[in-house]
Structure 1
Amino acid sequence: MNLFERLVLRRLQSADAGAEAGGAAGTEAPAASAVEASADKPADQTSAADKPVTTDKPAGDADKPAAGDKTPEQLAQEKELADKAAADKEAKDKADKVPEKYEFKSPVEGQEFDAEMAAVLDPVARELGLNNEQAQKLVDIYGKEILPKIEARQQESWAKQTEAWANEVKTDKEIGGDAFDANIGLAQKALDTFAPAGLREYLENTGLGNHPDLVRCFVKVGKAMSEDSMIMPNTGGQRSAADVLYGKN
């Protein structure tokens, strides 16, 4: 018999009993309904209010902190980490700011950074909002990568120029051609006689000794020195080297 059939049966039995008792069913029906309602509930559906409340902690957990509570050691460790993070952030923010004065270092070890270059770079770095580390990177890139390439190109260009001068001297109508070797010998003689050692070294190292006008000058001096004697009407004797060089009569 299912639950609905049981309910109908109980209703019928209650009605019959009420009729026999002469109307007493009006007072007994609520009690039956209460019984029925109780009987209709599953056995395991007990009201929460009827269940006992247990507040005791399991044995061994009495000394443990409740959920969310932290030990003093944990709190101290968290504070230390928070202070370190704040200090690191402050240092980073400070480093990211444009400094009052940039402290540039020379990209070449052992050399001081050029003051004039610093004066040029400072306003540019400040306008770009660079911190000291970022500005120094520009200095390093320029000094280690860009400047050496510029200098190499300049040296290459200068070498081509001095070589072109030498070729011009060799083909010059006055001092070149078949007379080139003899004229160069005369110029060398003049250099050895009048030019200090430092000047000769400088002309050789820089390539300026190949300049056509300079070669012509020393060739003329060498020719004048090679003449045995030059009788001058106002001196009655030979012209000195100073006369040849400085045009004295």
Structure 2
Amino acid sequence: MNLFQRLLFRRLCNEVSVDGGEGGGGAPAQAPTPAKQEVPANGDTPAPAGTEPSKANDASSTKQEDTDKKPVSTAPEKYEFTAGKGQELDKEAIAAFEPVARELGLSNEQAQKIVDVYGSTIMPQIAKQQEAAWQKQVTEWAETVKADKELGSVESIGNAQKAMDQFGTPELKQYLNDSGLGNHPELFRIFSRIGKAMSEDGFVSGSSENARSAADVLFGDSK
């Protein structure tokens, strides 16, 4: 073995000893295969391991963004509302509306617009619906009186008119006509019975020993 062969042999022995352990019997060590990273479906290159953004940082960033997006309240210390022309402010409705307006952070101008819409549009519509419902009720009462054999008779109507003429004031007659309560079956019934009692008992409006008082006719003899 010449000098060149000896040097080459010694070099090979040293490499085997370092990589394969004592005796040089081990197989040459292989470099570890890096873990395969999955490529996202959208084709973006995944971030290297260990460089993903912290979830805590994401949560903090989201919270900060939500805080930034939250509207700044412009609600005044006290709301000052004015009623529209020919209108009056509903104190109870205003008292219920103010806390809501303050919670929403409405300025006085924004809240006033809602008050204006309520007074000029919503309230008239509600009043119109209530009026229609009341007129329907008054019509039903009148139909009930006409359909009743006792109340709808000519005699019963005459008796009710007699009682009204005797005891009813002009103001009461006007109110019953305007409100429609004069058509209420039970109110009509009591006036009819009063008129009938007046006819049967010989009631007279002047003074007389045999005449019964108005209280006796209306409420019965207290004796």
TM-score of the aligned structures, taking structure 1 as reference length = 0.54
2:193 counterpart of 1:216: no
| Shift in alpha-carbon separation, 1:112–1:161, aligned structure 2, 3 A | closer
2:151 counterpart of 1:168: no
Structure number with higher helix proportion = 1
Given candidates 130, 133, 139, the residue that maps to 2:115 is 139
Larger Rg: 1
How far apart are the structure 2 equivalents of 1:173 and 1:137?
Answer: 56
Q: Which residue of 1 aligns with 2:82?
A: 105
Q: Contact 2:150–2:156 at 8 Å: present in 1 too?
A: no
Q: After the TM superposition, which segments of 4 or more aligned residues of structure 1 sit over 6 Å from their partners?
A: none
Query: Aligned-pair distance for 1:205?
Result: 1.0
Query: Aligned-pair distance for 1:182?
Result: 3.0
Q: Contact 2:75–2:108 at 8 Å: present in 1 too?
A: yes
Identity %: 55
Q: Figure out how many residues of one structure are paired with residues of the other and give that number.
A: 146
Q: Which residue of 1 aligns with 2:90?
A: 114
Given candidates 153, 159, 174, the residue that maps to 2:129 is 153
Query: Aligned-pair distance for 1:144?
Result: 0.8
| Shift in alpha-carbon separation, 1:244–1:115, aligned structure 2, 3 A | same
Q: Which residue of 2 aligns with 1:185?
A: 158
How far apart are the structure 1 equivalents of 2:176 and 2:143?
Answer: 17
Q: Contact 2:87–2:119 at 8 Å: present in 1 too?
A: no
Alignment of 1:47-86 (within 5 A): none
Q: CA RMSD in A?
A: 2.1
How far apart are the structure 1 equivalents of 2:150 and 2:192?
Answer: 10
Q: Flag structure 2 segments of 5+ consecutive residues without an equivalent.
A: 1-72, 204-208
How far apart are the structure 1 equivalents of 2:111 and 2:174?
Answer: 41
How far apart are the structure 2 equivalents of 1:113 and 1:147?
Answer: 11
| Shift in alpha-carbon separation, 1:244–1:228, aligned structure 2, 3 A | closer
Q: Which residue of 2 aligns with 1:242?
A: 215
TM-score of the aligned structures, taking structure 2 as reference length = 0.60
How far apart are the structure 2 equivalents of 1:202 and 1:215?
Answer: 14
Query: Aligned-pair distance for 1:188?
Result: 1.6
**Counterpart amino acid of residue 120 in structure 2:** K
Q: Secondary structure at the match of 1:239?
A: coil
How far apart are the structure 2 equivalents of 1:228 and 1:97?
Answer: 76
How far apart are the structure 2 equivalents of 1:133 and 1:227?
Answer: 70
Q: Flag structure 1 segments of 5+ consecutive residues without an equivalent.
A: 1-95, 231-235
Q: 198-207 or 213-222, which moves further after superposition?
A: 198-207
How far apart are the structure 2 equivalents of 1:128 and 1:184?
Answer: 60
Query: Aligned-pair distance for 1:117?
Result: 2.3
Q: Contact 2:164–2:191 at 8 Å: present in 1 too?
A: yes
